[in-house]
Amino acid sequence: MKDPYKKIISLIGGMAFALLLAEGLLRVLSVNSGFMAARELTQFRQNPDLVDKFAIDPELGFMPNLGTNPQYTKFGTITNAYSLMKTNHADRLLFIGDSVTARGKIVSALRDMYGDRDFEYWNAGVESFNTVQEVNYYLKFNHAISPNHVILTFHMNDFEATPVTFKSGKKLIVYAPNMPTTSINPVLFRYSMIYRLILGRTIDLHKEIESVKADTEASLVRLHNELSAKNITFSVIVFSYLKPLSEWTAEDKLTYYEIMEILTRNEIRTFDITPVTQNSLMRGNRIQEEAGDDWHPNETISTAIAEHLKANRLL
């Protein structure tokens, strides 16, 4: 009677050893891979200083640490000289978005163009945020400043789910999943490379990415409805790649058209700055913050964008 049990125990032990061996090999060969299940935002792991500047949040994945990051106020906005109490009749503008917003070049260009008499310029941009995070961040923190006009910059890489975030020693590790976060077990994702591999090999990538896009649209609609109910103006600036249209991939073009379709379908006030960037590129102008950076504008194109937004009556 004992022999069958010994065989079972031996089989289980062998399987456990094989799993541990596979886990160890994956950690050596593909230590930071998301295996098609997610894309790592490597800037967090590569910059240890971000551990104190950013906090892990169950709703947002990560967010500025509003307790230790002096760049941000308790309302999640970048520190400025304005008083929370409105003291004049100026419209309070709140800019939300990712690094394009956080670095402030377009916001500064608009301020130079419109001046300070009629408007306050509040910036709640956060590096590496996506649209779902931006909306939740507004609803959780930014709304407290009572803006008159919320201006969201929709970047073409903003079709992403809430990130999976964890700390490893003195490093912050962040992954942008290719599926809604509800489809992922964050504990297994953090500790098991085999889980990541199986997840990446078994998901229907096209179906999951469509689900992420649907979540993004739902977030935009939620914010639109929330602001409309409070008579707060809502505008979206569509920010496309800073490279010639001829260099866009078929996927790039599809993403752009899907963004425009979502905004049109939901009757959201939209300003597309693609014609501005493309015209500038055709004239041979340098428009990138740094050479090879297709994501962030320099001051020259930011001024042109501000002129375009003013001509089309953003404010």
Q: How far is CA 311 from CA 33, 60, 100, 110, 117, in A?
A: 46, 35, 21, 12, 19
| 228 Cβ neighbours under 8 A, 6+ residues apart | 234
Output the pLDDT for position 150.
Answer: 98
The predicted pLDDT at position 67 comes to 82
User: Looking at this protein, which amino acid is placed at residue 195?
Assistant: Y
Give me the residues of the chain with pLDDT under 50, please.
1
Query: How much is the pLDDT for 87?
Result: 79
pLDDT given for residue 14 in this prediction: 66
Residue pLDDT, tens place only, 36-67? 899 999 999 999 888 889 999 999 999 999 98
What's the predicted TM-score (pTM) here? Answer: 0.92
Best CA proximity match to 224, nearest among 130, 122, 151: 151
Cα atoms in the Cβ-side hemisphere of radius 13 Å centred on 121: 17
Residue 95 CA to residue 154 CA, distance in Å, equals 11
Q: What is the rounded CA–CA span in Å between residue 234 and residue 94?
A: 10
pLDDT at 1 (0 to 100): 47
